[in-house]
Amino acid sequence: MTTARGWRKWSIILICLMPTIIGITIVNLIPMGYNFRISFTDTDRGIHNGQYNKSLDQMNTVDDVGLQNYQKLFSQLVSSDALIAFAKLIITLLPFVIAFVVTQRMIRTQLMRPSTWQYWLAAIAAAFVLWFVLNDADGFNLLAQNDFFVVLLRSVLYVIICMPFFLLVGFVLALILNNPLIRFKVVWRTLLIIPWAVPTYITALIWQFFFRDAGTINQIFQSLGLEDPQHPISWYNSPLLAFGAIVIVNVWMSYPFFMTIILTAMQSIPADMYEAAEVDGASWWVRTTQITIPMLRPPVIPAVVLSSISTFQMFNTVYLITSGGPTGGVGKPGATDLVMTYAYKQVFQQQNQVLPGIYGQMGAFATIIFVILLIATLISLRVTNVTKSAYD
Amino acid sequence: MTTTPQTASTVSAPSIAAVPAIPRIVTKPATIIQRRRNQRVGLIISYIILVIAVIFAVYPVYFALLVAVRPNGQLLTNNLIEQFLPVTGISLNSFTTMIANTKDHTFLPWLGNSLFVAASTAFASVILCTSAAFALSRIKFTGRNAVLILFLAIQSFPALLALAPITILLTQIGLYKSLVGLILAYSAGSLVFSTWNLKGYFDTIPVEIEEAALIDGCNTLQSFFQVLLPLSLPAVALTAFFGFLAGWGEYVLASAIIPAPTSLQTLPVALHDLSISRSVPWGLFAAGSTMVAIPTMLAFLWMQRNLQSGLTAGGVKG
């Protein structure tokens, strides 16, 4: 702790933080401001490219269009039908909110954590019933006309589907590696960390080959007799299979991270808890579910939140493997377009040069995505209590 | 005289509700032999899962190695066995062709560029993050929490959407199409996570050590360099490592900032361009990929121990 006071203290702070602040300003703040600025204009590519050599003042052929870009983004989302559809969806999600509030109150008022799965099951059933009663499917189809909504929802779905697999594979492998009877642990752990260690652009291209029509996976299936060579399973032409492909590759790339964190956390669980449980007659399954999993909660939840935020923004893997999936046409998102690939394709694809004002629209898109990510990050701060210690 | 029967004790179990009642599922093996057999079954299942997982994990990298050592450098084969074993023989053709500088693929300049960018990013990252984390952890000033949250909030703007503005900005500074501009972009990008991590690690080192040094006559700067930094070497090594990774394996920013002259490109952009060129030299691509992947893997494995201790600082304690 420094004993400097007054201006000496502030001069030290300034010297320490100034390079960082300069860097963040250049790489983060100014682009954010620029994006925000052009989201109110109708900049497009021709004007933009010319500015690589000119100064920023010469944006004279660009007009301010006010909130028009935002309106286009939300087009059809603010009609009365769409608002009704939104309301119906929110009502369908209410059982989960109610279950959450009720279980939190139960957990807080009882000394031992009660089993809460009945409430969640009831919430799922209630939501299911509400879906059909309110005829949500029609509303959903109406909302799905809007590109922005579709891409956003698909990214959320991607995160929701990927996360359980990460946790499952990481947990099972960490459980096995934690077993004192397993030998050659260093070898196993080294080999299992390889997906994390190899740069993603290389492995994404390798997986891209695997999933091709003539690729390794189809060849294995053919040799096992599961399909015939005339009709290979076309992973890239079916929306569902393409989505499955990027889920599989993401699981392959991300499980070592979770495995490492879970293994480290498991090794710090004191052994006498297990011994006490064994004396009380607990079997292996009971020990694992009642001791290991609750004790893993503190480090795993921050990891899940961080990983969700970065999976939501994932670009490299998805773009290199499916480039956004079977496409629906110019300007429409493909079947595996996540948020980032959609933005990238809108801005950098050739055919979009004829669409006027595309940079302005993507500026609006970027601003909205930033707001969403900002809210998610702030929520994650509350959930993980990063500014406090873990045992508070 | 008959004894009065003892009344049943009215105090059975302790009535404290806090005793966790572990449900008694009767699966406990009755004999030691049965328990040992269960353990052996569990072990066998564990080993099977491990082998399957290792095959799943290692096969893609192994496949790249296979293609790299194939004599004809072909990617597509109809033979199933060839996907798993180097049936057609092992040759180092692809490697030698890749390293030899032809006008299409100049591997060594790419490697040099990537190494320069990655090492500089690691260095810059360490300098920036340690100074920022020192100020944030050790000095109490009024805006501290605000700065922390501001860092996190600003980082949530995805770099992909900032491609065009960053490029324009670098052009204004005059660093477009130069490696230094790339280093600037990468260092600022990996700042926040590393600063948070380093700050957390600094927080776990008791302040009393530095205060003792101050009493003994150091000034603030000396206490930082000679007391705090040596104690937090794992986390600092981790910062350097992440900075190196950011510079070594990043594609999008590199493709935007240094797109064109082939000799100035970094490895990710160059290899990707190779893979989408007209007649893709897959053998060469696989050879290049293998040569890129192996140092990264080695660095990763070397850092493994530090990964565990450096990442979970501030997480699970004890």
Mean pLDDT of B29-33: 72
- Searching chain B, which residue's CA lies closest to the CA of residue A210? B60
The top-scoring range by mean pLDDT among A63-67, A383-387, B55-59 is B55-59
Collect all residues with Cβ–Cβ distance below 8 Å to B249 and sequence separation of at least 6. Answer: A199, A200, A201, B268, B296
pLDDT at residue A353 greater than cutoff 90: no
Chain B residues near residue A176 by CB distance under 8 angstroms:
46, 49-50
The alpha carbon of residue A83 is apart from the nearest alpha carbon of chain B, in Å, by 29
Our CA-based measurement puts residue A127 at a distance from the nearest CA of chain B, in whole angstroms, of: 31
Residue A172 is predicted with a pLDDT of 92
- How near does any CA of chain B get to the CA of A160, in Å? 19
* Residue A250 pLDDT greater than 90, yes or no: yes
Which architecture characterizes domain A37-75+146-384 according to CATH? Answer: Orthogonal Bundle (1.10)
Q: Do B64 and A206 touch (CB under 8 A)?
A: yes
User: What domains appear along chain B, each with residue ranges and CATH number?
Assistant: 32-91 (no CATH), 101-311 (1.10.3720.10)
pLDDT in tens, A27-48: 888 888 888 887 777 665 544 5
- Res A196: pLDDT: 84
CA distance B308 to chain A (A): 7
**Residue A41 bridge partners (DSSP):** A64
A204-213, A219-228, A344-353: which has the highest mean pLDDT?
A204-213
In the block, tokens 């690589």 appear at A52
Report the pLDDT value the prediction gives residue A380, as an integer from 0 to 100.
76
pLDDT for A369 equals: 85
pLDDT for residue B262 is more than 60: yes
Q: Report the mean per-residue pLDDT for chain A.
A: 77
- Does A191 sit within 8 Å of B54, measured CB to CB? yes
Residue-level length of chain B? 318
pLDDT band at A52 (very low <50, low <70, confident <90, very high): very low
Q: What is the pLDDT of residue A61?
A: 53
Of B136, B158, B317, Cβ closest to residue A369: B158
Whole-model pTM: value is 0.78
- 3-class SS string, chain B: CCCCCCCCCCCCCCCCCCCCCCCCCCCCCCCHHHHHHHHHHHHHHHHHHHHHHHHHHHHHHHHHHHHHHCCCCCCCCCCCHHHCCCCCCCCCHHHHHHHCCCCCCCHHHHHHHHHHHHHHHHHHHHHHHHHHHHHHHHCCCCCHHHHHHHHHHHHCCCHHHHHHHHHHHHHHHCCCCCHHHHHHHHHHHCHHHHHHHHHHHHHCCCHHHHHHHHHCCCCHHHHHHHHHHHHCHHHHHHHHHHHHHHHHCCCHHHHHHCCCCHHHCCHHHHHHHHHCCCCCCHHHHHHHHHHHHHHHHHHHHHCHHHHHHHHCCCCCCC
Task: Categorize the per-residue pLDDT at B73 as very low, low, confident or very high, splitting at 50, 70 and 90.
Answer: low
Residue A19 banded pLDDT, cuts 50, 70, 90 = confident
What does the pLDDT read at residue B5?
Answer: 41
More confident residue, A311 or B4: A311
Q: Of B134, B160, B114, whose CA–CA distance to A315 is shortest?
A: B160
B211-254 pLDDT per residue, tens? 888 888 877 777 788 888 888 888 888 888 888 888 887 888 88
pLDDT at A362: 76
Question: Contact at 8 Å (CB) between A217 and A210?
Answer: yes
Residue A41, SS3 per DSSP: strand
Question: Residue B314: which pLDDT band, with cuts at 50, 70 and 90?
Answer: very low
- What pLDDT, on the 0 to 100 scale, is given for residue A84? 76
* Stretch B281-307: mean pLDDT: 77
> In chain A, what residues touch B134 (CB-CB under 8 Å)?
16
Highest averaged pLDDT of the listed ranges A78-92, A356-370, B123-137: B123-137
Contact A220 B300 (CB under 8 A): no
Would you say residue A314 has pLDDT above 60? yes
- Residue A341: alpha-carbon gap to chain centroid: 13
Residues in chain B with CB shorter than 8 Å from the CB of A52 are 167-168, 171, 176
Nearest CA distance, B237 vs chain A (angstrom)? 16
Contact: A219, B156; criterion CB under 8 Å: no
pLDDT at A159: 92
For residue B75, what pLDDT band results from cuts at 50, 70 and 90?
low
Nearest CB to A390 within list B155, B292, B315: B315
Q: Name chain B contacts of A181, Cβ cutoff 8 Å.
A: 39, 43
Cβ atoms of B205 and B272 within 8 Å: the answer is no
Read off the amino acid at residue A77.
L
What backbone phi and psi angles, to 5 degrees, belong to B262? -60, -30
Mean confidence (pLDDT) of chain B: 76
Query: How would residue A164 be classed by pLDDT, with cut points 50, 70 and 90?
Result: very high
Percent of chain A with pLDDT strictly greater than 70: 81
Choice between A338 and A382, residue whose per-residue pLDDT is larger: A338
Model confidence at A189: pLDDT above 80: yes
Q: What share of chain B has pLDDT > 70, as a percent?
A: 77
Residue A355's pLDDT is what?
Answer: 57
Query: pLDDT-derived band of residue B305, with 50, 70 and 90 as boundaries?
Result: low
Question: pLDDT band at A247, cuts 50/70/90?
Answer: very high
Where residue B299 falls among pLDDT bands split at 50, 70, 90? confident
Find the CB nearest A207 among B60, B167, B272: B60
- Between A294 and B128, whose confidence is greater? B128
- Choose the weakest-confidence range: A298-307, B227-236, B279-288: B279-288
| Whole-number pLDDT of residue B16 | 47
Position A255 scores a pLDDT of 92
pLDDT digits (tens, 9 = 90+) for A374-387: 888 887 777 665 44
Q: Give mean pLDDT, residues B108-124.
A: 88
CB neighbour class for B260 (10 Å; exposed up to 12, middle 13-18, buried from 19): exposed
pLDDT value at position B13?
44
Rounded mean pLDDT of A102-128? Answer: 79
- CA-based nearest residue in chain B for residue A3: B220
Nearest CA in chain B to A348: B164
Q: Choosing among A2, A313, A362, which should be mutated to test the B contact, i.e. which has the most B CBs within 10 A?
A: A2
Q: What residue has token string 């950011």?
A: B246
Min Cα separation B195/chain A (Å): 10
Question: pLDDT confidence of B81, banded at 50, 70, 90?
Answer: low
Q: What is the pLDDT of residue B8?
A: 40
Confidence of residue B101 (pLDDT cuts 50, 70, 90): low
Average pLDDT for A205-232:
78
> Contact, B192 vs B129, CB < 8 A?
no
Nearest CA in chain B to A183: B47
Most confident option among A173-177, B33-37, B142-146: A173-177
Over residues B183-204, the mean pLDDT reads 82
pLDDT of residue B6: 41
Mutate one of B61, B127, B157 to test the A interface: name it (highest A CB count within 10 A): B157
Q: Which of A176, A203, A344 has its CB closest to that of B60?
A: A203
Q: What are the chain A neighbours of B252 within 8 Å (beta carbons)?
A: 315-316
pLDDT band at A169 (very low <50, low <70, confident <90, very high): very high
Band of the pLDDT at B295, cuts 50, 70, 90?
A: confident
Query: Would you place residue B51 in the very low, low, confident or very high pLDDT band (cuts 50, 70, 90)?
Result: very high
Instruction: Choose among B147, B152, B307: nearest Cβ to A377.
Output: B152
On the CB side of A60, how many CA atoms lie within 13 Å of its CA?
A: 4
Domain locations along chain A: 37-75+146-384, 76-145
Q: Quick check: A197 and B301 CB within 8 A?
A: yes
